[in-house]
Amino acid sequence: MVSSTDRSSPQAARSATERLLGLFTEVRAGEGATALLMFCNVFLILLAYYLIKPLREGWISISDIGGFSKVEVKAYSSFVQGLFLLFVVGWYVRFAGRLSRVTLITRATLLYIGSLLFFWLLQPNFIFEATPLVGIVFYVWVGISGVFVVAQFWTFCADVYNQERGKRILPLIAIGATSGGVAGSELVSRLVESGIVATESLLLLATLPLFLSIFLIRLVDNRESGSTQPVLAAKAVDGGSLLSGLHLVLVSRFLLVAAIATLLTNWVNTNGENLLFMVVQESLASQAEVQGIMAPEAVLEFTRDGTTVFYGNFFFWVNTIALILQAFVASRLLKYGGFAVIALMLPVIALLSYTAMALLPILVIVKMMKVAENATDYSINNTARHVLWLPVSTEMKFRGKPAIDTFYVRVGDGLAAITVLFATHLFALSIESFLLFNIALVACWLVCTLLMIQEHRRASNAVSP
């Protein structure tokens, strides 16, 4: 469903906006307005997501289940997300056979907004003193719906742009994503620490940019000749099977390799996130003891707010560095090095990062290396993930891509949860041994990335004139 109205031309005169955007990537005449709308749209989506994400971490940090450590509760909750996404992806595909792409995206986003309002009402010590397991349910739901809203935006992008335009414009749009992450993370730190906005009000605040994003997506769809017909033909929905998106992944070599690479990416990354979370909780527990905070309710509040502020600061630095990489490095790497270079960047950085952690496993090093890994993931690897889909069909984009960007992401998280189980209960692994295991996973990831590069090259050659 790529736009049939390609107004761009290398020779045509560019507007002032297009010349300004040209500082970051090649933008031709006629491309600036849509690119700017897409930039603002993803900025708003990620702004909302990073208003919610630190709160999600803070809420799960005070959600105890007897017999499990906090890091285990977090890890196992991620595994549950993967199970639910198995069905969510199938339902999404079914609706794609009935709705146009703009209607599909609008309704999914409105459902997300409604869920945020629901959880805003259920936050502990807000309207109700406590609601059993609500923090875990919130963590699971945000992990499903938040990731899905972001994933569907990038599916929309890959459908709007053809391969030639996408390679030039997607790195620019991705700057909007990293900018939104920076803005959201910084807002959390400033608003919560200063007391301007109560922690429980972050969910309410996050709904505003999401409403604006719906308006912008509809503007882009109108500009790019969006169809009112369903995204997928009826025969492409496999009779409405809940597993249709996953079935397509399993029968396509391109999608299978992409799915395994995504799974390994998140398995490695989430292992590192769980390690960081554990260290943060130990640090906050020590701080509470030093400050003489003893009452259970006071400890819970201290832990929740401390975790929220820490991750707000952590995500700020991750997204700030990611923004620099996205603005000045990603598009140039793609232009001069090609897809292979940007696809290999993250696994190479991860290999160096976890090796450094294994040699010196202290909080400062763990935090610095995770910032480096996540910043690369959110910028250069983010560009690689979306460029990967440019040469494939609309059916593969709206069926396979949501499955990979959601379900296989959470399967990686689930495997990280199993890793926590084995590392803490069955083998009592040291941090060094845990990191060595992650290094072995990175080696497998590198091999899979090489296969993915090969499949992308084949798909690109198949659509080349």
CA 212 from chain center: how many Å?
20
- How far apart, in whole angstroms, are the C-alpha atoms of residue 136 and residue 84? 14
Give 4-18 pLDDT, tens digit per residue.
444 555 556 888 888
Exposure string of 228-255, with b = 16+ CB inside 10 Å and e = fewer, is eebbbeeebbbeeebbbbbbbbeebebb
Q: Are 166 and 463 contacting, i.e. CB atoms less than 8 angstroms apart?
A: no
Give 262-308 pLDDT, tens digit per residue.
999 989 998 888 888 877 777 788 888 888 888 888 887 888 778 87
All structural domains of the chain, each given as residue ranges with its CATH number in brackets, are 29-463 (1.20.1250.20)
Query: 62: which DSSP letter?
Result: T
Mean pLDDT of the chain: 81
Helix locations, 377-463, DSSP H? 382-387, 394-395, 401-402, 409-421, 431-463
Of 207, 217, 159, the residue nearest 39 (C-alpha): 217
Give 222-277 pLDDT, tens digit per residue.
888 765 555 554 444 454 444 555 666 777 889 899 999 999 998 999 888 888 88
The pLDDT score that the predictor gives to residue 234 is 45
pTM of the predicted model as reported, rounded to 2 decimal places: 0.70
The pLDDT score that the predictor gives to residue 242 is 46
The pLDDT score that the predictor gives to residue 39 is 93
The pLDDT score that the predictor gives to residue 339 is 93
- How far apart, in whole angstroms, are the C-alpha atoms of residue 385 and residue 433? 30
Place of tokens 């020779």: 11
The pLDDT score that the predictor gives to residue 129 is 64
The pLDDT score that the predictor gives to residue 10 is 55
- How far apart, in whole angstroms, are the C-alpha atoms of residue 174 and residue 167? 11
Query: In this structure, is the dihedral angle defined by the CA atoms of residues 276, 278, 283 and 284, taken in order, positive or negative?
Result: positive
CA 125 from chain center: how many Å?
29
* DSSP class per residue in 348-398: HHHHHHHHHHHHS--HHHHHHHHHHHHHHIIIIIHHHHHHTTTTS-HHIII
Place of tokens 């940019």: 209
Give 326-350 pLDDT, tens digit per residue.
888 988 898 889 999 999 999 999 9
Give every CB contact of residue 96 below 8 A, 6+ residues apart in sequence.
104, 230, 231, 232, 237, 398, 399
Please say if the pLDDT value at position 110 is more than 90.
yes
Beta-carbon count within 10 A of 172 CB: 26
